[in-house]
């Protein structure tokens, strides 16, 4: 898509432990592609305030944050093209969040499907953070006045809410924020290995491949992946499980791998065990490079911290400008 130099694009992920290949293909690699195509400014943050709404161990958090930053860089995000920062280093976002709370109808939040999903999953901890998460997300996006948010389909509802919040605020207090649009790039959805009708997620053990899995583990998990339930009668449409393996081969393998396996599938000679073993090899090779880069970056945490401190200063300056303008508009300052 064509973007202008003034466009600001923003995205982020929660530091909640090892990523899986779904996050890698669906988010990280997509951002890496965007950094080369996008003419405007790109911000990628570590959503540590957001991550507090789910159960976690505070002792692990700092390490998880730094690890995610290393993973952003190891996946190919270029700090010259992308400003990587930690959400909580910009406390202004919580002030904007509060102000946005006062223009957000509760009924709008009650409709959010992610809240329904997450509150179903952690019934013992349905906290306000889980409920007001999309309002904080609106503050993340509108603090730098981002105009585009690259998201998967499941997040479109939250970006729509951000647009509503921007509009409600502008109507009540005067034109201040852009109404950002979701940037729906063609992100392949990686499905669960054991339940290929659902997207790959950490909530189903054995169904996901972690970026930290060793080659044997990857092979073991792929060998158990669900393929066809019975004989294939129509080769024009692959079953969800088989399609998922092909999607992954396309992402991690070579064009020849794709062509050879597709031909074998079409003429009925494909053994799924061969497809799975080739795929395991390709994923393991790819991840070995990623992991070597990640380990090198993590061996020098001071350099990562320095980058984060510099970026925090830069982003805060911009955040303070927005908050100053907002404070004046809502009557908190002159
Ligand atoms: P989550 O931790 O589920 O919020 O995911 C973090 C990022 O990874 C989001 O941008 C998701 O859209 C993306 N993502 C998560 N799971 C998948 C998947 N199975 N396939 C593709 N993208 C995914």
- What SS3 state is found at 20? strand
Contact between 322 and 173 (Cβ < 8 Å)? no
Q: Decide: 27 in ligand 1 pocket, CB within 6 A.
A: yes
pTM of the model: 0.93
Greater confidence, 66 or 228? Answer: 66
- What SS3 state is found at 86? strand
Those residues with Cβ within 8 angstroms of residue 275's Cβ, 6 or more apart along the chain or in another chain: 245, 249, 261
Those residues with Cβ within 8 angstroms of residue 219's Cβ, 6 or more apart along the chain or in another chain: 276, 277, 280, 284
pLDDT at 260 > cutoff 70:
yes
Q: Decide: 14 in ligand 1 pocket, CB within 6 A.
A: yes
Q: What is the mean pLDDT of residues 268-294?
A: 96
Model confidence band, residue 38 (pLDDT cutoffs 50, 70, 90): confident
What number does the ligand 1 atom closest to the CA of 23 have? 8
| The pLDDT value given to residue 187 | 72
| The pLDDT value given to residue 1 | 53
Ligand 1 center–CA 319 separation, angstroms: 27
What are the residue ranges of helices labelled H in 38-127?
48-51, 58-74, 92-101, 106-110, 113-121
Catalytic: which of 145, 199, 221, 238?
Answer: 199
pLDDT at 236 > cutoff 90:
no
Pairing of β 41-46 and β 148-150 = unpaired
Q: What is the mean pLDDT of residues 304-320?
A: 98
Greater confidence, 3 or 110? Answer: 110
Q: Is 59 a catalytic residue?
A: no
What number does the ligand 1 atom closest to the CA of 13 have? 6
Q: What would the pLDDT profile of 75-89 be if each residue is shown by its tens digit?
A: 999 999 999 999 999
Catalytic: which of 118, 189, 198, 329?
Answer: 118
Q: Which of 26, 54, 187 to mutate to test the pocket of ligand 1 (most atoms within 8 A of CB)?
A: 26
Query: Whose alpha carbon is nearest atom 4 of ligand 1?
Result: 13
Residue 169 corresponds to which tokens in the numbers above? 């605020």
Residue 110's alpha-carbon distances to 88, 105, 179, 215, in angstroms, are 26, 9, 21, 43
Q: What is the mean pLDDT of the chain?
A: 94
Q: Which of 10, 13, 22 to mutate to test the pocket of ligand 1 (most atoms within 8 A of CB)?
A: 22
Q: What is the mean pLDDT of residues 103-124?
A: 90
Q: What is the mean pLDDT of residues 12-24?
A: 94
| The pLDDT value given to residue 2 | 54
Domains of the chain: 9-187+301-330 (3.40.50.620), 215-294 (1.10.240.10)
């Amino acid at each position: 898509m064509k973007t202008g130099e003034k466009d600001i694009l923003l995205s982020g992920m929660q530091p909640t432990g090892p990523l899986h290949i779904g996050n890698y293909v669906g988010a990280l690699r997509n951002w890496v592609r965007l950094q080369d195509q996008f003419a405007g400014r790109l911000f990628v943050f570590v959503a540590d305030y957001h991550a507090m709404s789910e159960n976690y161990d505070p002792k692990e958090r700092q390490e998880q944050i730094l690890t995610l930053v290393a993973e952003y860089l190891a996946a190919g995000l270029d700090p010259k093209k992308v400003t990587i920062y930690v959400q909580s280093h910009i406390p202004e976002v919580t002030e904007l969040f509060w102000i946005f709370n006062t223009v957000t109808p509760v009924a709008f939040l009650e409709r959010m499907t992610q809240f329904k999903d997450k509150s179903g999953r952690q019934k013992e901890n349905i906290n306000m953070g889980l409920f007001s998460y999309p309002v904080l997300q609106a503050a993340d996006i509108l603090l730098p006045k981002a105009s585009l948010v690259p998201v998967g389909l499941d997040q479109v509802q939250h970006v729509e809410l951000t647009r509503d919040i921007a509009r409600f605020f502008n109507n009540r207090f005067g034109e201040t924020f852009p109404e950002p649009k979701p940037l729906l790039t063609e992100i392949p959805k990686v499905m669960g290995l054991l339940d290929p009708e659902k997207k790959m997620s950490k909530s189903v053990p054995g169904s996901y491949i972690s970026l930290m899995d060793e080659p044997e583990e990857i092979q073991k998990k792929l060998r158990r992946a669900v393929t066809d339930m019975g004989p294939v009668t129509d080769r024009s449409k692959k079953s969800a499980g088989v399609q998922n393996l092909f999607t992954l081969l396309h992402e991690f393998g070579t064009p020849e791998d794709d062509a050879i396996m597709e031909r074998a599938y079409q003429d009925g000679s494909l053994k799924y065990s061969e497809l799975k073993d080739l795929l395991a090899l390709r994923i393991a090779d790819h991840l070995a490079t990623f992991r070597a880069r990640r380990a090198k970056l993590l061996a020098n945490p001071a350099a990562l911290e320095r980058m984060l401190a510099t970026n925090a200063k830069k982003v805060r300056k911009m955040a303070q400008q927005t908050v100053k303008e907002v404070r004046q508009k809502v009557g908190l300052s002159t």
